[in-house]
Structure 1
Amino acid sequence: MAKKLVIKVTAGADAPERCSQAFTVAAVAVASGVEVSLWLTGESSWFALPGRAAEFELPHAAPLPDLIEGIKAGGGTITVCTQCAARRDIEEKDLIEGARIAGAQVFVQEAMADGVQALVY
């Protein structure tokens, strides 16, 4: 098993099943003891803002706020893409507690580190 899992979510409410899968995999991995770095890009960037995850609905899926809390409680990191944040006028001060904004260089560093498995949804 990989020492760390880096997950990039490229979908939000525009592709709810894909979005939910990414958050679910991240939460399950954290609960299983895997170090997780969850990257929010594109429309998923909105879920790093307070209250936005509660607006997401998908039948038969775990609530997004619960998944996010599980990821954070288990030590997972949540990062919003720098360019995606800028296009949506999202600033670091706007984010949920524990989330950050970082760019492609940090993503590549994390994804290319030894023992890392990367997934894109």
Structure 2
Amino acid sequence: MIKVTAGADAPERCSQAFTVAAVAAASGVEVSLWLTGESAWFALPGRAAEFELPHAAPLPELMEGVRAGGGITLCTQCAARRGIEQKDVLDGVRIAGAQVFVSEITGEGVQALVY
């Protein structure tokens, strides 16, 4: 489980989270990536393509890798604060809250990283 709290406001931290998630998924690890705070915007179509960081993999490619080998969840409260609804987000992104997060993180063998 990887929880991303940063977006364009902290590009290196944001890119690190997506990179670790995508590499883990490509390695066969089941990944649950949670978008919180400013990373919530990346749940919307086209937003990841706007993100740029020199010497980093493109965010849309990293997200696709995560979706192929796991799941992406947008925090319920973070979505609500930004006026984002389920109908607005990319295919395969769900909106869920703390109860689901706690359920996932307390699963057997789960390790969590927060960026």
The TM-score normalised by the length of structure 1 is 0.94
**Paired residue type of 1:115:** G
Q: CA deviation at 1:79?
A: 0.4
Distance in structure 1 (CA, Å) of the matches to 2:106 and 2:9: 29
Specify the SS of the correspondent of 1:59. coil
Map 1:102-113 → 2, pairs under 5 A: 102-113=96-107
**Letter of the aligned partner of 1:82 in structure 2?**
T
Q: What are the residue-to-residue correspondences of 1:82-97 with 2, within 5 Å? A: 82-97=76-91
In structure 2, the residue matched to 1:3 is none
Structure 1 residue runs without a partner (length 5+): 1-5
Once superposed, which parts of structure 1, at least 4 consecutive aligned residues long, lie more than 6 Å away?
none
Question: Normalized per residue, which structure has more strand?
Answer: 1
Q: Distance in 1 between matches of 2:64 and 2:34?
A: 15
Give the secondary-structure state (helix, strand or coil) at the position aligned to 2:111: strand
Mapped partners of 1:8, 1:42: distance in 2: 10
- Indicate which of 14, 17, 21 corresponds to 2:12: 17
Q: Amino acid of the residue matched to residue 83 of structure 2? A: D
Q: CA offset at residue 41 of structure 1? A: 0.2
Instruction: Among all aligned residue pairs of Structure 1 and Structure 2, give the percentage whose two residues are the same amino acid.
Output: 83
What is the letter of the counterpart of residue 100 of structure 1? Answer: R
RMSD (Å) for aligned C-alpha atoms? 0.5
Q: Which residue of 2 aligns with 1:69?
A: 64
The equivalent of 1:39 in structure 2 is 34
